Amino acid sequence: MTTPGKTRVAVVFGGRSPEHGISCVSAGSVIGALDPDEYEVVPVGITRAGQWVLTDGDPGSLAIQSRRLPEITAQSGVDLVLRADPTGNGLMVLDPVDGPRALADVDVVFPVLHGAYGEDGTIQGMLEMAGIPYVGANVFASAAAMDKEFTKKLCAAEGIPIGPYAVLRNGMTLSEAEKERLGLPVFVKPSRAGSSFGITKVSDWAQLDAAVAVARQIDPKVLVEAAVVGREIECGVLEGEAGGTPEASVLAEVRVVADHEFYDFEAKYIDSDEVCEYDVPANLPERVARQVQEYAVRAFTALDCAGLARVDFFVTPELDVYLNEINTMPGFTPSSMFPRMWAASGLEYPKLVDRLIRTALNRGAGLH
């Protein structure tokens, strides 16, 4: 039953990607930030098998505990069955307790889903067909940003510098000419994944086949990227209010100082306080900081993003800037850089979440 005067928000999390657990942690933070006097939360978890479950949305149960990530299972709540609404009013959720309810009854959906089957345009397409407003990028931008190959192509077409790379589709191998062009070391990664899953640093070509096999456990399309020596710099971007120009946050620098060869999954989420140092804002010359922010906004626009994105860069010792990747639904965990950067820019976590929801409601569903 909808509470009069409150905005009804479906927070959808979990999902079928390897980033399931991080999605749950992000969702717990988002739910905890929503003012109960203004919002009625409908917490919907998706199991790794794709089953939709109405949960209690307790932020405490969605936190990392003893280095273990939370998980949505069939026992996490009430099983939901999605089906078409025969009246043509979006999608129906069949709740065994309350009976059929229209998902369209919610005012907005916050899909806190990371990776495939959530951040890649799939749920966005479903919500568009149902005519339900949602937080974040549209179908095209979500799909293009999820696929690192097409992120690079679109941003390069806008004049944003990118490093050398090669694409290995299923069954392909790296030629000797490509090895010479890329040099060593290289990073081998799934083209359509996030949170550093499936990434291997290769310092000897004899390691390449094994690294490609690891990446292909997640995605049959693999990127081999020349290592860019430099600092890892991140920038948050928000859709402009009232149709204005997208806004860039202050920048952040991430430094891995112990036990991890690069900023991998464990360094990001499990051991972050022990092995990483963060500068927010990043200590960069003003000219370089402005360049990064400009590139971030240009990348956001080039991919036709909406709502939010985190845009990651490398800055070399010579102060050259190269795009790394774009995340259209970046992590919202307590250690995540996107909310940290906006807090340092003057927009604290609860106000950030509120702004994202208001932006989605103002934008509505459909083409824009």
Q: What pLDDT is stored for residue 65 in this prediction?
A: 82
The fold for domain 165-226 equals Dna Ligase; domain 1 (3.30.1490)
Does 196 carry a binding-site annotation? yes
Does 32 carry a binding-site annotation? no
- CATH 3.40.50.20 in the chain is located at 7-134
Q: What pLDDT is stored for residue 270 in this prediction?
A: 46
The fold for domain 7-134 equals Rossmann fold (3.40.50)
The whole-angstrom separation of Cα 310 and Cα 330 is 6
Q: What pLDDT is stored for residue 100 in this prediction?
A: 44
Q: What is the mean pLDDT of each run of 10 residues along the chain (368 residues)?
A: 81 93 95 96 92 89 84 77 53 51 76 93 91 95 97 98 96 94 97 84 97 95 96 96 91 78 51 74 98 98 97 97 96 89 97 97 84
DSSP secondary structure code for residue 42 in this structure: E
CATH code of the domain occupying 144-162+231-363: 3.30.470.20
Residues 6+ apart with CB under 8 A from 66: none
Does 229 carry a binding-site annotation? yes
Q: What is the DSSP string of 303-364?
A: TT--SEEEEEEEE-TT--EEEEEEESS---STT-HHHHHHHHTT--HHHHHHHHHHHHHHH-
- pTM (whole model) above 0.85: yes
- Positive or negative torsion for Cα 242, 245, 246, 250: negative
Q: Token digits for 78?
A: 């009430």
Does 230 carry a binding-site annotation? yes
- CATH 3.30.1490.20 in the chain is located at 165-226
Active centre residues (catalytic): 19, 195, 336
Contact 292, 283 (CB under 8 A): no
Contact 168, 160 (CB under 8 A): no
- CATH 3.30.470.20 in the chain is located at 144-162+231-363
Does 187 carry a binding-site annotation? yes
Does 227 carry a binding-site annotation? yes
